[in-house]
Structure 1
Amino acid sequence: MSSLLQTRTRTNIVPALAVLLGLVMCYLVYLPGLHGPLLLDDQANLAEVNAFLEGEKTARAVIFDNRSGPLGRPVAMATFVLDASLWGESVWYFKHTNLVIHLVTGLMVYLLASLLLRTTHQDSSAAWRAALIAIIWLALPIHASTVLYLVQRMAQLSALFMVAGLCAYVGGRVLLERGRYSGLLLIWAGVPVLTVLAALSKENGLLVPALAAAIELFWFRRGNWFQPPASRGRRWIDGFFVAFLLMPGLLAVIWLLSNPDRLTGGYLLRDFSLWERLLTQPRVLWDYVSSILLPNGPRLGIFHDHFPVSHNLWSPLTTLPALLAWLGVIVAVWLLRRKSPLFAGGMALFLVGHVMESSIWPLEIYFEHRNYLPSIGLLLAVVGIVECVASRMSVPTAGFRVTGLSLLVVLPLVYLGTTYGRAFVWSDSRMFYSSQYEVYPESVRLNSYLLGFAMNAGDLDGALDHIEQMDTSRPGGEKRMAPTLWRFLAYCAVDQSPPDDLYTQFESRASGKIFTYDMVAWQELSEAIEAGDCPGLDVARLVALSGRWLERTSLPDSMHQVWRTRYYRARLLAALARYERSRKEGEKAWVDSAYNRGIGVFVFQINATLENWARCAEVLRRLERSEGAGDLRFDQAVETFRNALQDKNLESPVGVDLES
């Protein structure tokens, strides 16, 4: 008996030590990338954290006022605040926290894989298979764009709590199988709590019950959900899914049918329709599979905004084959549900893990970080496929064994080497952007970054080249406003007057939709004008043209892109001393924005300039409703306005930007 226990202990310890070695190697591989650049919405999220460090916002405001998603993602924001409190503004330490979360998640992947494999494997191989899955998951090169992209901590934390929730479910379920009803506590209390934490990190954490249902179906019921309950505990399991999956799902469907504009409205500012997105995602999912299992280092990254959209089943030609291939996978999952629960359950976890971000919602088409959790399912499925192949051999050949053992050693090392290459590229901003440009020269997002580098260097020709690349890369040759506005900015950067035909180009494009890129470019141009950085620009002419742009847009005034564009037009009118017209535009932008407090500050200021004291008092009463929310700069402005109204003495009332 003692010998047996020692053997089992040794059998479990050695795989655990292998995982520990994998953690150390993964840490070392990622270290170079911690010096890398901030990207995309990193700047916006760190701006809030910097406001906290500078005493302009409280920690509560940063944590609970985030607008990255419908739920605000306060858990993730709390970790940013904690990093800032400990390390200040050091980006290295922020990214180091991302790496630590990746390693902790890797440990949870090992635990989950161990729990799942022990339900299907009665021998000691379960620990080794789990260790291999965890090590490979840690080393996957596709995860570099999650670990080293700072704001994707939201996806990381969500995945961490989701895996922990699944561990709680499987652990509780195993206890129930052994007749221990303490497992119900893990399932009914642990899983919901961890689901909430996951969802408050990022909204796809709400998928935990659906993922648990896939585990229940393929690991514990072998594909037969409606088999008679073997115990009273089974009824509690069914009740759990009714309470936390079926009922919330029905409520979500009812809400969506009652508010279809919440879905369709998001497509107003996309280059694709709902139907086109659904047609495109099968191709995207196959691209994800390829990038996970057969990574091509240079092609990995975040600039996939050029991914071709499927317009019908034959355009591109790969659309229908991709869809049929996934239907084939689903059929295979069902047919193999008893013979290979590892393959069937793994593919179910992969597909369910993509349900939120690869389905009907009007999100961007492609992002690698969406595979952070689903890749676990894919690795489980691959192990299941290998087991199926091996089981067909009565006695595995020597060649098969040698090949298998070689892959067990070589594959993690190849992945780690590729990940190191990605981390090294991410270590320097110019190296990162230049390497991405070699592969994705048509990316609008990437060219917008390279445009900024060119303008900062005073390279007008280089800037105009990148703008031209953006202007000609749209499907169907569609011309938008953003490239025109960027051209104005490029001339501002070198203190040159723009050519007259640029104003004509502005007028010709001043219709249709105002896209987010257009709004941001307009904001940057407006701020450059206010800062005095565009001396050669005919501001009055530009402001007049922007009025026509707003009149002709097909978007409703209540959309963020419209009212924010109007707000910056109002500021330019104020800069031209056209105060009454500025007031009208500012008031409309304020109402259309549902009384955005930053625009409200501007409205107070412009009315004070015009000495409309009665209106100032009305605006102040509205602003006071937002007082005390943790935005200390805003609270100070409101207090200043309150005191100013008492003695009606405002100094320099126009020009303070407190938009939030």
Structure 2
Amino acid sequence: MAVRRDILFALGLIVALCAITALFGGGLKSDFYLDDFPNLSVLSSVSMPGGFWFATLQNASSALGRPLTMFSFALQAESWPSDPAAFKRINLLIHLFNTLLVAMVSQQLFALRKLPNSQWLALAVALLWAIAPLHLSSVLYVIQRMSLLAATFSLLGVALYLRADQLFAQGRWRAGYLRLTLGYGACLLFGVLAKENAILLPTLLLLLDGTLCRQRLRPPAWKRYQLAFLWLPLVMLALYLVFFSQALNYSSRPFDMGQRLLTEGRVMFHYLAQFLWPVGPELGLYHDDFPLSRGWLYPVSTLIAASGWLLLISAALGGSRHWPVLSFVTGWYLLAQLLESSVISLEIYFEHRTYLPMVGVCWGIIFWGERLLQQRPSMKRLVLTGFALYLLAIASVTWQQAHLWSQPLLMAAEKMEQHPNSERARLSGAQQLLKRGEGDAAVRLLLHDKSWSQLPASRQGRLLLLSCSEEVPLPNPGYWQGITYSREIIDSLQQLLGALGTNNCPRWPIENASQLLVTLQENPAYSGRHAVHFMQAKLALLVGDLEEAKTQARAANQNGRPDVEWMLIDIALSTGDREGAAIALEQAQQKIDRLGWRSLRYRPLLKAYRQRINGAPPP
């Protein structure tokens, strides 16, 4: 009987995985979006000497650089940038594996609560979670492989903790401690190397220990173990954020910490609403227009949301003994997004932040549904029929939205209609028009009947790039004398310089680019002069003025990075100056040595330059 049940359960899992693949597969032939480009452009260097490890270790998204995820991307470098579907297929495979992990963890938790049919309940949790259209942004947005992998190791860590709990219940202290320490430690390490969210794994284990596992038998020295292995990483994280990180710096954001916290209360209820009853046009990547909370009553939903969370948190904290499931579900949802939805100065709204938090919500829904059927067995047919219809409704939204992802221009148009103030939707629409060869339409979409000074920096930067090949009403030179620093403008100018002198940029004479850089350099309010010097050096190299290139390169301050030295080495080697190249290499070595473990990303390149210098022909 047990073997037959296991076979049926395995078949059920296979059918569920096939259904998930069919739903998400419609969106695989879509495009790269948003942060895909700045994070993955380094894959173009994989074929160069030391390029593979440079691509793996160079990511600047965080202090650690998320090397595990970047390693997985580097393995697919040959598919960049021509084949987005190759990256998305791997993301989908990770999502399918995570679905199996959700089923495994859910079964362990149901068994812990001594519910019958724990396998089928776990399958229901996994299916409800996996087909949610909210997760399209995690699977089809390539760079969010970071979130997928962080969730993978977090779920594995929870599963290993629950297995150790079983060993503790059997009195096998040593085996339990060994499994927990090695398994949890490995999952925490690999999870953090995928994305920093995994540092919250200890909070999830502490939550389990204080709720669903509260009455379980615990081994000797358990409290000391918790302090050393669960609480200590969290204390170290807090100290890092407060004293060593720029994560709490809001100077580049149009909101402060208080406004962000007030807004996130509404956002987290919005996530729940979109998960439980998704509205297709409101889904997607383009939520940069989500209205901020400027005060408790602006809008009034801020106070309502804050009151709702206060009640739920109070019930969860006060009822952990009597209502452990409520405490667990509430705690899991909030703690799993503690980093991205609290005090750190990130953007307000992204759907991928719900990927792991929704596991607890789904488990709670199925748990309470089963309890309802135990108390009202006469409602079984009604509840099961309703649940099946609900899954079909959710699946239909996922299928429709996945196919919309495969039509990027149509998706951008729909999202612009739903989010008229979204800069991301407008930029995405312009990008798709440009791909179709409709440059004039892209320019009109970006200008949107506004003058240049009225445009946000992101659109100004994109228009600068478009002006390479399209007629764009650029501002007069005096405009650049009064602007302040903008990362978007710098990035666009750097791309523009890369296109100068090629067929991709026939409308920009080199003299015009040089004059623009000089104007920015003379602007007393512009704080990005080091970047301008560096671009002037590149421009001087382009026209063959090596002395000017060296002068501008030495004036550039690359904030500890050896980019200037690489350029000086290239200039010296081009003139046969091996001594000058060696001096620049030594300066690069000193900079790299000060980077600590992050210097690993530059070591292969350093070695390649040393070999070039040693093998350079004499002048």
Q: TM-score range by the shorter chain?
A: 0.7 to 0.9
| 1:92 match: secondary structure | helix
Q: Compute the RMSD of aligned alpha carbons.
A: 3.5
Find out whether 1:518 has 2:489 as its counterpart.
yes
Letter in 2 for 1:247: L
* TM-aligned CA deviation for residue 578 of structure 1: 6.5
CA separation of 1:279/1:387 partners in 2, compared to 1, >3 Å: closer, same or farther? same
Count of residue correspondences: 611
Structure 1 residue runs of 5 or longer lacking an equivalent are: 1-5, 223-229, 649-660
**TM-fit CA distance, 1:150:** 2.0
- Deviation (angstroms), 1:96: 1.9
- 1:600 counterpart residue number: 565
- Name the CA distance, whole Å, in 2 between partners of 1:86 and 1:507: 42
**Residue 130 of structure 1: how far off its partner (Å):** 1.6
Residue 642 of structure 1 and its aligned partner are, at CA, apart by 5.0
Q: 1:270 to 1:472 in 2, by over 3 A?
A: farther
1: CA distance, partners of 2:576 / 2:86: 49
Give the whole-Å Cα distance in 1 for the aligned partners of 2:495 and 2:80.
Answer: 30
- Matched with 2:222 is 237
- Equivalence for 1:227: none
2:194 is paired with a residue whose SS is: coil
Describe the shift of the 1:629–1:242 C-alpha distance in structure 2 as closer, same or farther (beyond 3 A).
closer
Question: 2:308 matched to which residue of 1?
Answer: 325
Name which of 462, 483, 503 aligns with 2:459.
483
| 2:88/2:140 contact within 8 Å kept | yes
Tell me, yes or no, if the aligned pair for 1:298 and 1:435 is still in contact at 8 Å.
Answer: yes
Residue aligning to 2:584: 619
Aligned to 2:23: 29
Q: Which runs of 5+ in 2 are unaligned?
A: 593-598
| Matching residue's letter, 2:491 | V
Match of 2:163 in 1: 171
- Whether 1:301 and 2:280 are equivalent positions in the alignment is no
Q: Which amino acid counterpart does residue 179 of structure 1 have in structure 2?
A: G
* 2:290 maps to amino acid: F
Superposition deviation, residue 285 in structure 1 = 0.8
Does the 8 A contact of 1:71 with 1:200 survive in 2? yes
C-alpha spacing 1:79/1:170, structure 2 compared with 1 (3 Å): same
| Cα pair distance change 1:614/1:407, threshold 3 Å | same
Q: Counterpart of 2:498? A: 527
Q: 1:438 aligned to 2:385? A: no
- Identify the match of residue 275 of structure 2 among 292, 295, 298: 292
Contact 2:188 2:198 in 1 (8 A): yes
Q: Distance in 1 between matches of 2:537 and 2:586?
A: 22
Paired position in structure 1 for 2:148: 156
Deviation at 1:155, TM superposition (A): 1.2
Contact 1:146–1:152 under 8 Å retained in 2: yes
CA distance in 2 between partners of 1:115 and 1:499 (Å): 63
Whole-Å Cα distance in 2 between the matches of residues 24 and 364 of structure 1? 35
Does 2:340 correspond to 1:360?
no
Structure 2 equivalent of residue 71 of structure 1? 64
Q: Which amino acid aligns with 1:171?
A: R
1:468 aligns with 2:455: no
Residues 458 and 383 from structure 1, CA distance in 2 versus in 1: closer, same or farther, beyond 3 angstroms? closer
Distance in 1 separating the partners of 2:581 and 2:7: 71
- Does the residue aligned with 1:270 lie in a helix, a strand or coil? coil
Which residue of 410, 422, 430 corresponds with 1:451?
A: 430
In the superposition, relative to structure 1, how do residues 332 and 17 fare at CA in structure 2: closer, same or farther (>3 Å)? farther
Specify the code of the residue in structure 1 equivalent to 2:30: G
Q: 1:384 to 1:337 in 2, by over 3 A?
A: farther
TM-score computed with the length of structure 2 as normaliser: 0.87
Moved more, 367-376 or 423-432: 423-432
Identity %: 24
How many Å separate the matches in 1 of 2:223 and 2:370? 31
Q: Does 1:370 align with 2:353?
A: yes
**Residue 250 (1) aligns with residue 235 (2):** yes
Partner of 1:3: none
Contact 2:248 2:343 (8 Å CA) reproduced: no
The equivalences for 1:176-575 within 5 A come to 176-181=168-173, 182-221=175-214, 233-259=218-244, 262-265=246-249, 267-386=250-369, 396=376, 398=378, 400-455=379-434, 459-469=438-448, 480-494=456-470, 496=471, 499=473, 501-508=475-482, 510-511=483-484, 513-514=485-486, 516-531=487-502, 533-534=504-505, 536-537=507-508, 540=511, 543-550=514-521, 552=523, 563-575=530-542
Give the match for residue 595 of structure 2: none
TM-score (norm 1): 0.82
User: Shift of residue 547 of structure 1?
Assistant: 4.2
**Does structure 2 retain, via aligned residues, the 8 Å contact 1:158–1:198?**
yes
Aligned AA (1:490): L
What is the CA–CA distance in structure 1 between the aligned matches of 2:329 and 2:264, rounded to whole Å? Answer: 19
Shift of 1:77: 2.8
Secondary structure of 1:220's counterpart equals coil
Q: How far is 1:471 from its partner?
A: 6.7
Q: Could you tell me whether the CA contact under 8 Å between 1:209 and 1:241 is conserved in 2?
A: no
Aligned counterpart, 2:14: 20
Instruction: Give the C-alpha shift of residue 173 in structure 1.
Output: 1.0
Residues of 1 paired with 2:149 and 2:569: CA distance? 41
SS at match of 1:219: coil
Provide Cα deviations, 1:110-154, integer angstroms capped at 9, x if missing partner.
11011111111x241433322210111121111111112222222
